[in-house]
Structures are given as C-alpha cells and as structure tokens.
Amino acid sequence: MSAETAIAEGATSPDLLGPIPGGGEAQLTVEHLTMRFGGLVAIDDVSFQAADARITAIIGPNGAGKTTVFNCLTGFYKPTVGRLALHHPKGEFLLERIEGFRTAQAAGVARTFQNIRLFPRMTVLENLIVAQHNKLMRASGYTVLGLFGLKRYREAEEKAVELARYWLDRTLLTKAADQEAGNLPYGDQRRLEVARAMCTEPVLLCLDEPAAGLNPRESQVLNELLLFIRDEHKMGILLIEHDMSVVMGISDHIVVLDYGRKISDGTPEQVRNDPAVIRAYLGEDEEDEPAGETAAGPESAAREGEERDA
C-alpha cells in the first residue's frame, strides 16, 4: 500500500500529504497522537509517517515526549487520542487499540529501552531464547507436550538457538553466549538488547537511545548493525537518539519534537537547516528555555549551528 492510498483512506492531517521524506512505502502512520496525564499534555497532536526499510529518527530536547511516543506505539500507554496504523504483512493493525504485551505478540512491534532492560541473571543465549517465547510455547504444545520431551519441541528449540546464534554473530556476542547478561560490558548489553528485539522477528523495530553511553567505536559498530538490519532484513526502524552523529549518519527521515509538538519533519538535510529546530535546541526565545536540557542538546545544536554556517 502506498503512502497516497493511506491518506486517501481517511487521513485528515495535512502533515501526511505528500511522499515520506527519505522515500519508501509508509509502514507506520501516526495521526493526531495526543497523550495526556491528568492535566499534563505530554504529546500534543503529533502526526508523522515512517517508511518500510528506512530508519526514522525521532529527536528533540529532553522532555519533548519522544519516549512517550514510543510507549504509545509499543502498548505501554494507551493514547488519549490518535490513530496509529501499522502496515503488517498480515494486514493493518491499529496500535492504539492493542495494549500491553499483545503489541509485540500480535503486531510484531519490538523495542528496546532507554535504561537497558535485560534479564541480568540469565545468560545471553537465554535472553534470546526468551524473546522467542510465543513461538516456542506453541511448539511445546503450551508446555504439556514439552514436558514429555517431544521431538517437535526439541526441533523448535534447536531452530530457536539457530536464530539466536545468527543474531549473536551479527552483534559480535557469540563468545559471550553462555555468560550472564548482567555481567556484559555496557556496550555489549546495548547490542544484546537489539539482538533480543530482533529475535522476536518483528516487523517494526523501535530503539530508545541505543547509542546512549557508547564510546565512538561502539557507536560505529551499532550504526553498522542498524544499517545491516535495514538493508538486509528490509526492516523499518524507529529510533530515538540524542547522539547526532548517529542520527545524521544513518537516518533516512527525521521527526523533531519539542514540548510534545512536532516542529519539523524531513530528511536529515532539511531538518538540519530548519530554523524551528535550531530555535528549539538553542532556546533563542529567552523566556521559553526548555527545562532540564542536558549536555547533548546544546552540543548537538552547536554542531548544527556550525554546519549551517558552513
């Protein structure tokens, strides 16, 4: 289904007119997403599209509502208003109607977390096997058949190990497979979380600050991994990131949020030169300085400033 037909089907937001920046077919269409907590409006009428087999970055200063968007997409929050349509090989899923674990189970949306959430006392391999839970559950006849050691289950488990092995090789973690996940170095844990998400065999991968806390070399390895997932697996990736070298280096399409509103949407080139983005990051409006800004904000904004000057 092309972007045009999706709009024709009843999209009302002018944001969604025209092709997706960075190209590709629309995989995720977010319309009028609004999330309120009591009186606080965390996201205010945000609409954007993310394309298949492209990397879409969501950026913005701290507190802009990026993680909240993720939480709405992945079933952790139920949005107050909004239509979140995911184009899935099995048909269209409206993510706002799916809650909790079903988002990952049925719609195939996988995610990672800002603060790494592995199963620290289980081994690396076990982390990846747990990710294939639903498939293995069916193979084990919902435990009953598995208890008697049926062949079908053993085969399914072997296949699961194969898939895990595949992603271990891709994330350079094969050697650590039998170690406790909690004992891995930080950078490895980040990659393991991506591998675990991929083991759920998702259609859309949502990464919440995957490069946070990585050194430049680890960051580079991660970039390559994400490009591999995009190019070889034709997987749409949604990415929240503060590290501008990652964002500008690998994204095809960038959505910028500030105070819960979308302030810019385009290719990296377009966003970099958008005055609204520069204002948000530098806080030109003296009275309206974003609260709780971290080092990443001004730094990246400064870099953007330089680039604009050049």
Partner 1 sequence: MQNTFAYFLDQLINGLTLGSIYGLIAIGYTMVYGIIGMINFAHGEIFMIGAFISIITFLILGLAGITWVPLALLIVLIAAMVFTSIYGWALERVAYRPLRGSPRLAALITAIGMSIFLQNYVQLLQSARNKPMQPVISGGVEVMRDGDYVVSLGFMQGIIIVLTIVLMVIFSLMIARTTLGRAQRACEQDRDMAALIGVNVDRTISLTFVIGATLASVAGMMFLLYYGVIDFFIGFLAGIKAFTAAVLGGIGSLPGAMLGGLLIGLIEAFWSGYFTVEYKDVAAFSILVLVLIFRPSGLLGKPDIEKV
Partner 2 sequence: MAATTGTAPAVQPLDRQAMLKEAGATGLVIFALAFGLLGFRTLDVPGGIDIQYRFGDVAAAVVIGILGRIALILLREHRPLPVLLTTAPLAVVLLVMLLAKFLFGPETGAELMRFLPFESLVVMWAILIVIVVLALRAARSQTHIASEMTVEDRDARMDRIGAKVQRAARRLGPVLLGIAIIFPFLPFADRRLLDIGILVVTYIMLGWGLNIVVGLAGLLDLGYVAFYAVGAYSFALLATGLDVSFWVALPFAGLMAASAGVLLGFPVLRLRGDYLAIVTLGFGEMIRIILLNWYEFTNGPDGISGIPRPSFFGLAVFKRSVTEGHTFHEMFGLQFTPIHRIIFMFYLILALALVVNLFTMRIRKLPVGRAWEALREDETACRSLGINPRNTKLTAFGIGAMFAGFAGSFFATRQGFISPESFVFTESAVILAIVVLGGFGSQIGVVIAAVLLIGLPEFFRELQQYRMLAFGMAMVLIMLWRPAGLLAHREPTIRLFGKGAAKEAEP
| Residues between 234 and 293 with contacts to partner 2, criterion CB under 8 A | none
The distance of closest approach from Cβ of residue 166 to partner 2 in the complex, given in angstroms and rounded to an integer, is 12
Among 3, 125, 257, 296, binds partner 2 (CB under 8 A): 125
Give the β-pairing of 81-88 and 91-94.
Answer: antiparallel
Count of alpha carbons within 13 angstroms of residue 210, beta-carbon side = 31
Nearest 5°: the CA angle 105, 109, 115 is 105
Among 113, 123, 141, 177, binds partner 1 (CB under 8 A): 113
Residue 71: contacted member of partner 2, partner 1, none (CB under 5 to 8 Å, by partner type): partner 1
- Residue range at the interface with partner 1 (CB under 8 A); choices 64-72, 90-98, 252-260, 293-301: 64-72
Nearer to partner 2, 149 or 292 (CB): 149
- Residue range at the interface with partner 1 (CB under 8 A); choices 65-73, 87-95, 142-150, 260-268: 65-73
> Could you tell me where the DSSP H helices lie in the chain?
3-8, 66-73, 102-105, 124-130, 133-139, 144-147, 151-170, 186-199, 216-233, 244-250, 268-272, 275-282, 296-309
Helix (H) or strand (E) holding 32: strand 26-37
| Residues between 159 and 178 with contacts to partner 2, criterion CB under 8 A | 161, 164-165, 168, 174, 177-178
Among 76, 123, 134, 145, binds partner 1 (CB under 8 A): 76
Instruction: Give 3-state DSSP helix, strand, coil % of the chain, rounded to 5.
Output: 45, 20, 35
Nearer to partner 1, 48 or 70 (CB): 70
The answer to whether 67 contacts partner 1 (rule: CB under 8 A) is: yes
Calculate the CA dihedral of residues 241, 244, 245, 249 and round it to 10 degrees. Answer: 80
φ/ψ of 261, rounded to 5, equals -115, 155
- Footprint of partner 2 on this chain (CB under 8 A)? 74-76, 100-106, 110-113, 117-123, 125-126, 129-131, 133-134, 136-137, 140, 142-143, 146-147, 149, 153, 157, 161, 164-165, 168, 174, 177-179, 196-197, 200
